[in-house]
Amino acid sequence: MPDSKTPKRRSSLWKIQGDLDDRSRRILWVLSFGVPLLLWAMISYVPWIWHPLVEVRDPGDVSWFTPGLRVEKDGFDRANSLETARGQKPATGVPANPVFLPAPHQVAVALVTSFTTAPRLKEERWLHEEMWHSIQIIFWGFFLSSLVGVPLGILCGAIPAVTRLSEPFIEFFRYLPAPAFGALCVAILGINDAPKIAIIFIGTFFQQVLVIANTVRRVEPSLVEAAQTLGAKPRQLLWRVVLPASIADIYTDQRVLLGWAWTYLIVAELIGTSSGITYFINLQAKYRQYDNVMAAILLIGIVGLGGDLVFAWIGRRLFPWRKDAKPGFFRRRKTAALAAAAEEVFA
Amino acid sequence: MSDDPSFSKPPLPDDASRERLDRMKGRESVLEVRDLGKTFESAQGPVEALRGVSFSVHRREFLCVVGASGCGKSTLIRILAGLEEKTSGEVLVDGHPVDGPGRDRGMVFQGYTLFPWLTVLRNVAFGLEMGGSGRSTAETDAGEWIELVGLKGFEEKYPHQLSGGMKQRVAIARSLAAGPRVLLMDEPFGALDAQTRSQMQAHLLQIWKNVDITIVFITHDLDEAIFLSDRILVLDPRPGRVREHIEVPVPRPRLFAQVPTPVFQGTRAHLDHLIHPPLPTPKVERIPMVRLTVVGDEVE
């Protein structure tokens, strides 16, 4: 325990490498969201920052003004000076931002209302319904991609023959942009969810194989050599050395790749029948309800970041041998028994 | 110094040591190396790493291989382990030629090669399971090996929770548990601090005394070689060849108190004489522009 008399040393903010103390870390975490939010709030609420338009409050005698209309500052002044010259009543207004930049509170309200008020048309779906639909698309696309991509990536990384056979083609294919396959996917798979899942699959699969193969290739060769001198045969080397040596890093790779899947989601949802969060965003933009648009974009961020935090939390408990490990979900004996059972199945 | 006749031969062993060495040489040879050669292909053309290396190691012998850097010590031991392919010659274990790695030749590496995802117990049980032992038998046996290397109570720890010395003890236990005929050790204590290193040397001798194992130990530390081994194989560099096969005259049991004795230091001087050629006297033709000494702080 540190002596209570010695002052607790705070780490310098300019230090290179290593990590900061808990308090600085927490403060910086808050700031990392706080600073962009503050900028947004300043642009929205401080009237002399930006605000290129004027929102009409009282149209006065200007015939083409209506309350709530946003007009250019020049236009507003010209109309008013015309009216004043004619001895008519001028309009009044307040500085405003364009409609596509709603203020933070408007977006917050929109986010809440989207869960409380029904959509304006009967066939339209709630924000959370569209979101849930998108999450399902992501899940199936990523799940199917991983089902093939992870084992193939591991084999590629471990067995040179598999690398030579598959990587040249995969390297070629990953340069073909996934969206380019949209029309093809619709022609083959119809117009519903199948082509969307296919786009996510194409977008992540090839990257996945290459990234995971690379991770597996980084396994310390001396671990494999040590196992060989202990009598391990190729199949045992794969299952009992290469796989466990890389599994924790593969898990981290998967978290990064899931981020890629979200990027392809937006493209995927534009093809075939419109659905999902992208459809919601496009529809709200047509209604010029940019607060709803921002709310939907924000929701994607929250779901994405939230998911990643959950996976990171799980990751710290899945691999008890890592230095940053937290107490696992299972007692070790149980995990070991599971691993042994898996080995028997594969042996 | 190189012409000093007193260093051209190691000191003679006393009678007890003479008898012990003769008894050892009377035992069957476990590992035999015949005319081993190794040539690497490089972009600059072939590089000969080993040429005509022959020696044999008797059962329960402790052999150290020393040599200047670049003499092919590590290449030699990697070939013995089957991790590197030989270009010519033969390696025989119990009279049978071997090729590729196998359980009959255990290896302890300089770097830490414990499996980080396995506990100490599971690490040591690894080789036993590869040999076909069931899980529970393997773990019971592993427990005994862990006790032998003095790590009882650490069975459920992960490698990252251990110190460097402890990791190497586990590595030794893991290799021995697999039941090898020969234990190959490639500078296993090279990464340890001086104090831990001495402890590990004493500890290794203790283990060797209790286990029927033949050891081939690579090191560049001459004191370590003399302290540990029955015989020392001295290699010449570029290409690696056998320079001399020295029988260590220092009596057993070995103690650190023997280090200052004449027989120890005489052996040491002989090894030094073999490995380190006399340095050429540097000829200063021009005084360097930048003198690293303070003016007036001249040294002899």
Which chain A residues have a beta carbon less than 8 Å from that of B118?
244, 321
> For A85-141, how does the pLDDT look when each residue is reduced to its tens digit (9 = 90+)?
888 888 888 888 888 888 999 999 988 888 888 777 777 788 888 899 999 999 999
Place of tokens 């044999």: B56
Q: Do the chains contact at B130 and A236, CB–CB below 8 Å? A: yes
B96 and B22, same structural domain?
yes
Q: Does B134 touch chain A (CB under 8 A)?
A: no
Distance from CA of B127 to the nearest CA of A (A): 5
B82 and B122, same structural domain?
no
Q: Does B119 touch chain A (CB under 8 A)?
A: yes
B230 and B85, same structural domain?
yes
Task: Give long-range contacts, CB 8 A cutoff, 24+ apart: A287-294.
Answer: A287/A120, A288/A99, A289/A110, A290/A99, A290/A100, A290/A101, A290/A102, A291/A102, A291/A106, A291/A107, A291/A109, A291/A110, A292/A110, A292/A114, A292/A127, A293/A100, A294/A102, A294/A107, A294/A110
Complex ipTM, two decimals?
0.87
pLDDT of residue A165: 94
Structure letter (DSSP) for residue A8: P
Question: Is the pLDDT at A341 greater than 50, yes or no?
Answer: yes
Pick the closest to residue B126 from A220, A247, A215, A343 (CA basis).
A343
Q: How far is CA B177 from the centre of its chain?
A: 19
Looking at the domain assignment, is residue B234 inside a domain? yes
Relative orientation angle of helices A276-286 and A243-268, to the nearest 10 degrees: 30
In chain B (300 residues long), the average pLDDT of successive 10-residue segments reads 61 89 92 93 90 93 90 92 93 91 93 93 94 89 93 92 93 94 94 92 93 94 94 90 91 90 91 79 68 60
Looking at the domain assignment, is residue B290 inside a domain? no
Coil, strand or helix: which one is A58?
strand
B270 and B187, same structural domain?
yes
- Shortest CA distance from A220: residue in chain B: B113
B53 and B122, same structural domain?
no
Q: pLDDT band for position A65 (50/70/90)? A: confident
pLDDT of residue A345: 61
CATH of residue B261's domain is 3.40.50.300
How many domains is chain B built from? 2
Q: Does A227 touch chain B (CB under 8 A)?
A: yes
B93 and B32, same structural domain?
yes
Q: What are the CA-CA distances from residue B73 to residues B44, B48, B93, B216, B257 (Å)? A: 22, 13, 19, 11, 29
- Name the residue range of residue B267's domain: 5-104+181-275
